[in-house]
Amino acid sequence: MPTTPQVDECRYLPGCQTDMTTERNQQPKEHPFRYKLELGAYRGAKFLMKLLPQAAQMTLGRWGGRLGYLLDARHRRVALQNLELVYPEWSPAERQKVAKQSFENIGTAAVELGTSSDLDRESYLARLDIEGWEHLERAEKAGNGVLLMTAHIGNWEALAQTLPLRGKPVSFVARPLDNPYLEGEIRRMRERFGNRTIPKRGAARQLIRTLRNGGITGLLIDQRVHPNEGKAYEFFGHPAYTTPLMARLSLRTGAPVVPVFGIPLDGWKRCRVVYWEPIFPETDSPETDGEEAVDRLTLRYLRTIEEAIRQWPELWLWMHRRWEKGRAAASPNSDPQQLEPSDKRASTRAR
How confident is the prediction for the chain on average, in pLDDT? 84
171 against 173, higher pLDDT? 171
Whole-number Å distance between alpha carbons of 110 and 152:
13
Q: What pairs with residue 147 in β-bridges?
A: 217, 257
pLDDT at 192: 92
pLDDT at 199: 79
Q: Indicate if the pLDDT at residue 227 is higher than 50.
A: yes
Out of 182-186, 257-261, 317-321, which region has the weakest mean confidence (pLDDT)?
182-186
The number of residues in the chain equals 351
Out of 118-122, 149-153, 280-284, 331-335, which region has the weakest mean confidence (pLDDT)?
331-335
How far is CA 91 from its chain centroid?
Answer: 28
Q: Is residue 106 classed exposed, middle or buried when 0-12, 13-18 and 19+ CB atoms within 10 A define those classes?
A: buried
pLDDT at 21: 37
Q: Is the pTM of this model over 0.75?
A: yes
Q: Indicate if the pLDDT at residue 20 is higher than 80.
A: no
The domains of the chain, with CATH numbers, are 121-344 (3.40.1130)
pLDDT at 198: 87
Q: Indicate if the pLDDT at residue 116 is higher than 80.
A: yes
Q: What is the dihedral of CA 232, 238, 242, 248, to 10 degrees?
A: -70
Out of 24-28, 66-70, 250-254, 271-275, which region has the weakest mean confidence (pLDDT)?
24-28
Whole-number Å distance between alpha carbons of 34 and 131:
43
Helix (H) or strand (E) holding 106: helix 92-115
Return the beta strands (E) in the chain as ranges: 128-131, 146-150, 170-174, 196-199, 216-220, 231-235, 238-242, 257-265, 270-275
Out of 6-20, 74-88, 170-184, 227-241, which region has the weakest mean confidence (pLDDT)?
6-20
87 against 47, higher pLDDT? 87
pLDDT at 339: 38
What percent of the chain is modeled with pLDDT above 90? Answer: 62
- CA separation (Å) from 60 to 63, 66, 70, 284? 5, 10, 15, 53
Q: Indicate if the pLDDT at residue 34 is higher than 60.
A: yes
Q: Indicate if the pLDDT at residue 212 is higher than 70.
A: yes
pLDDT at 204: 86
pLDDT at 242: 96
* pLDDT band at 289; cut points 50, 70, 90: low
Query: How do 257-265 and 146-150 pair as beta strands?
Result: parallel
Number of other CB atoms surrounding residue 138 within 10 Å: 17
